[in-house]
Structure 1
Amino acid sequence: MSQRELAQARRQLEEQAERAAAHEVAQRRLRQLATRLDQRLTRSESVSGVRGWLKRRQLSTMPRTEEDDALAVLRSSSLMKGAWYLTRYPEVVSTGLSPALHYLRVGAAQHKDPGPAFNTRKYLAQHPDLPRDVNPLVHFHAANPGPAA
């Protein structure tokens, strides 16, 4: 290669490195924002006391009493990654539901994964007799008791 070609290749490589660095900064910022949003949505679903009772009765984005146990399992699971879920499925943000509540109500039925380490579609294929109203990740933890996997 000539000096000119080497210089041009070096410039192109430097430009690619700058773009990659900017992309990494943007990805890191997106993960931070998704983590904060997950925390905020989860906190907003707090339902203690009279105020909680009113929230449950008025807002469709609040967990129903019958969802409490399953929601507790999802939130304690190391396989449920709220920030990852929001980043992977950005349309969830517009629902106003926390990632765990969305996965419980509709995400699993849509074959969305709760995190990178749990494949909903694969789990459902391995358990064809699983009733539609049973969440796959909740079922997984019921079948594999112990610390949240």
Structure 2
Amino acid sequence: MTQMVDAHSTPGDAGADSPEVARLREELALVQRELAWVQANAEAREERLAALATADRECDQLAKILARHLSRPAAAPPTVGGVRGWLVRKLVPGLIPPPPPPPDPRLAQIEKSGLFDPAWYLRRYPDVATAGEHPTVHYYYLGGEEGRWAGPRFDTGFYRARYPDVRESGLHPLVHYLEVGKAEGRLTVQPAWEPSTQDAEA
């Protein structure tokens, strides 16, 4: 029957010179180093998770502030027109902003729809917030074509895929829903019981 080896025995102890004891000591030292490494990594991971949670809360707050700021009407920036303005904008980009486009009445229609959520849009698509784009303007001119969600209750890609006449109409998908689809009772999001179009393609 083998005796249990005390991990803390000293080289002068009986049996300390045996190869088995030496091997067990090496294994114990290795396990202790691995345990220390795991504990250090676990602590570092918890610190990173806490930092990420804080950053996530800060991003949510910034997205809300940005959405409120962007939804306020702003004074028109000074513009320089004509050839001189074009030349200055070409030579020194960002110095003088381009003249604002005429407002499209459909932007207001989207904003008042109750289906477009600017704060949610900026949280879901941080690239829009980073670029400093107005969420409604981005969604109307780019996001709809890219299939981005208007908010949690309107899946643009689903609506366009489910109803082929939307693309044929030339209307923005959310505008189409507001002007045509709503009266017809069309769906705005994938029903939970129905397989998604992505599942069908796989």
Question: Structure 1 length as normaliser, TM-score?
Answer: 0.67
Cα distance in 2, alignment partners of residues 45 and 124 from structure 1 = 33
Cα distance in 2, alignment partners of residues 134 and 43 from structure 1 = 26
Question: In the alignment, what sits opposite 1:37?
Answer: 66
Residue type of the alignment partner of 2:127: P
Contact 1:92 1:102 in 2 (8 A): no
Counterpart mapping for 1:71-90 below 5 A: 71-73=111-113, 76-77=114-115, 80-87=116-123, 88-90=125-127
Contact 1:63 1:101 in 2 (8 A): no
CA RMSD of aligned residues (A): 3.1
Question: In the alignment, what sits opposite 2:131?
Answer: 94
Question: In the alignment, what sits opposite 2:161?
Answer: 125
Quickly say closer, same or farther: Cα 1:126–1:14, change in 2 above 3 A. same
Q: What count of residue pairs does the alignment treat as equivalent?
A: 130
Contact 1:103 1:112 in 2 (8 A): yes
Quickly say closer, same or farther: Cα 1:91–1:15, change in 2 above 3 A. same
Residue 103 (structure 2) pairs with residue 63 (structure 1): yes
Quickly say closer, same or farther: Cα 1:84–1:109, change in 2 above 3 A. same
- The secondary structure found in structure 2 opposite 1:84 is helix
Contact 2:121 2:150 in 1 (8 A): yes
Question: Structure 2 length as normaliser, TM-score?
Answer: 0.52
Higher RCO structure (Cα 8 Å, ≥6 apart): 1
- The secondary structure found in structure 1 opposite 2:157 is helix
What residue ranges of structure 2 are gaps of 5+ in the alignment? 1-27, 76-98, 189-202
Q: CA deviation at 1:36?
A: 0.8
Q: Which has the higher helix share?
A: 1
Residue type of the alignment partner of 1:94: A
- Output one character per residue of 1:50-105: Cα deviation in whole Å (capped at 9) or x when no partner: xxxxxxxx632x733354334321xx22xx332332241424653642x1232123
Find the structure with the greater CA-based Rg: 2
- Name the % identity: 31
Question: In the alignment, what sits opposite 2:145?
Answer: 109
- The secondary structure found in structure 1 opposite 2:165 is coil
Q: CA deviation at 1:16?
A: 0.6
Cα distance in 1, alignment partners of residues 45 and 106 from structure 2 = 52
What residue ranges of structure 1 are gaps of 5+ in the alignment? 47-57
Contact 1:71 1:104 in 2 (8 A): no
Residue type of the alignment partner of 1:136: P
Residue type of the alignment partner of 2:66: L
Residue type of the alignment partner of 1:64: D
